[in-house]
Structure 1
Amino acid sequence: MRFVLGAWINRRYTRLPSSIVLGLLPGIFFIYLATRAAAGGDWFAFAGAISFVVVQALAYPLAREGYFRATQPMREGVGGWILPAPIALFVLLLKFNVYVYLWVLSIPIGIAGFCYLALTESAGNGWRLV
């Protein structure tokens, strides 16, 4: 059971509060749809939308940490580059695109991230400060 909690603690590049907030931002639309469904009497859609948002919020931090660990060599390799304004804008658009894709696929990527983080934590290779 320690490896389950260890996967949540074994984060090096992300922090839990910011990851949960980023995971919940697109979920606001689903919460709006859920309240409209509940007002119309469709409680099944309400429960489905709320449970979807909760699962997304729990899986997104693990998916985000997995993404940051997978792309760490790229960040180290291009860290000192100074980009012209049009290319920097293109990079910002790509980062937003990655955020959307990561949020949409956060459940399967979060499961893979959970497995990776739990296995590294159980092997004693975690990144915890305590």
Structure 2
Amino acid sequence: MKKSSRRKFILTSAAGSVALAVNAKSLNMKSKQIAHHVFFWLKNTGSVEDRDKLVEGVKTLSKIPEIKELQVGIVADTQKRDVVDASWAVSELMFFDTLADQANYQSHPIHQEFIKNYSGLWSKVVVYDIQQV
């Protein structure tokens, strides 16, 4: 192997190793991400107006900087099966980088304002906090 070809091979291999290490670190960081999934049941069951007002309120939470992603949804009109719970009305799915970020979200003024302004709309809330692996 020529000297220049060998040097190029070594440099390419080194760059590839660094890229793999960085990618592995990114994957490891992502695996520690926290998902916060909340389901709301309306006091006024079946009220489209209340549902839409709650959706509007949930979307205000996207202004909280610790939230990396926010998805807001309503019950999908999918096939009815025994394993599908379609009794809720609105859902929010949030992602945080760390447990500390999720804890900061809980006490954030925008979240507290959301609870104050919209809690009159729901009769029940269920939360699933998930740490990705």
Q: Tell me which interval the TM-score lies in, with the shorter structure as reference length.
A: under 0.3
Report the TM-score, using the length of structure 2 for normalisation.
Answer: 0.25
Query: Which is strand-richer, 1 or 2?
Result: 2
TM-score (norm 1): 0.25
